[in-house]
Amino acid sequence: MIKEDFKNIPEKFQRALPIMNKLQSSGFEVYFVGGSLRDLLLNKPINDIDIATNALPEEVKKLFPHSFDTGIQHGTVTVVYKRENYEITTFRNDGDYLDHRHPENVKFVNDLREDLKRRDFSINALAMSPEGEIIDYYGGIEDLKNKIIKCVLNPYDRFEEDALRIFRAVRFTSQLNFSLENNTYLALKEKVSLLSNISIERIHSEFIKMMQGEGWQKGIELIKDSKIYEYMPDLQSNSIEKILNYEYKKIRFSDEVLIWAVLFILEIFPANQVNRVLNKWKTSNEIINNVNEILSFCQKYQKGILDYHLVYGLKRENIEKGIFILTKINNLKLVNNPLREYDLLPINSIKDLKITGNDLINEAGFKPGVHLGKMIKLIESQVLQEKLENDHRVMINFARENNV
């Protein structure tokens, strides 16, 4: 075991100290655990603070009336303190993982070491006392220094227990820009078929997090070499090669929409089957619509459509992503500025018209039907071509004059 003192505990940890002090003064052991310590040692932003204790859930709830069950079957209680939520979990051993995802049962224990050995990777199996003493039973600090992802104890057992750890290993490789320890890599390759037990929603989530990491190409290489792609809808070995081009290495993906748009532009997935593919990935309709907008923008630009038809009706952020793809992925030099074209438009979509179908019915004598729809489209076209002012009264008068 390695112990190191962390003398200046960051403020986010300090805010939880009153909770920990109360547990300690009641005779219990209590530690910070999990990814927050990994991020602390890597000087990365710290997200959620997790706490582990040998106090039983009922004892935690007795000490903290402002608490609620969040995973009581696994020993987790959420304590609310000064409007912040803190998950407090009792030290435990996991029972058998019969579905390769969740333990059938858990057994509460009194030993921190026993609790930490059920964690996935050494870098996530660290603990820190309220006094700032970091406890490392499984070599996590050394692995952080060496930039290695290594399973706690036997990697074959860790992946057999929870198959999602296979993709989590890939994701951490990308997010931290680390390498897989050799035995962990060999176990991952051998156990990859266990991913058949994992839902596409979880694979989707891990894949997007991986693609947003600094070392996303390392992640893609692992997906290819280990044949993880066989458990990812519509992904083929030969198509993966297209994104491993050295030119793309420094590209960083800001969000999920850009990731999917780039993958379709590079034909990693069939470019004409966006809806079908992304529905298989259980992607939201909003993301699908945004990806289609970006692809449409790129296709129009490459066809030489450079007037308002290129940008009208699109979201500004999708135009920005389309420009990113055209310049960084397709290596094009733009002959105009689509964003300037967009900003100069009198309206950016039909929703910007200061008139509605109901206005035409109530003020211009129109009836619901095809004729009404045609008039709205005519007004839209006239405003776009700056032949008609986007003014309510002006458009009502225009509609009356042309209501034949």
Binding residue per annotation — 276? no
Alpha carbon distances (Å) from 388 to 60, 123, 136, 186? 69, 64, 71, 68
List of residues 6+ apart from 400 with CB closer than 8 A:
364, 365
Look at the chain and count its residues: 404
| Chain Cα centroid distance, residue 311 | 28
Round to whole Å and give the CA distance between 214 and 175: 6
| Chain Cα centroid distance, residue 86 | 22
Round to whole Å and give the CA distance between 395 and 26: 74
State the residue for tokens 């870098």.
123
Binding residue per annotation — 99? no
Binding residue per annotation — 120? no
Helix, strand, coil distribution of the chain in percent, nearest 5: 55, 10, 35
Binding residue per annotation — 400? no
Positive or negative: CA dihedral 14, 173, 252, 236: negative
Round to whole Å and give the CA distance between 232 and 248: 22
Binding residue per annotation — 168? yes
Binding residue per annotation — 359? no
Round to whole Å and give the CA distance between 340 and 172: 39
Binding residue per annotation — 38? yes
Q: Which residues are annotated as a binding site for Mg(2+)?
A: 48, 50
Q: Which residues are annotated as a binding site for CTP?
A: 35, 38, 119, 162, 165, 168, 171
Q: Which residues are annotated as a binding site?
A: 35, 38, 48, 50, 119, 162, 165, 168, 171
Q: Which residues are annotated as a binding site for ATP?
A: 35, 38, 119, 162, 165, 168, 171
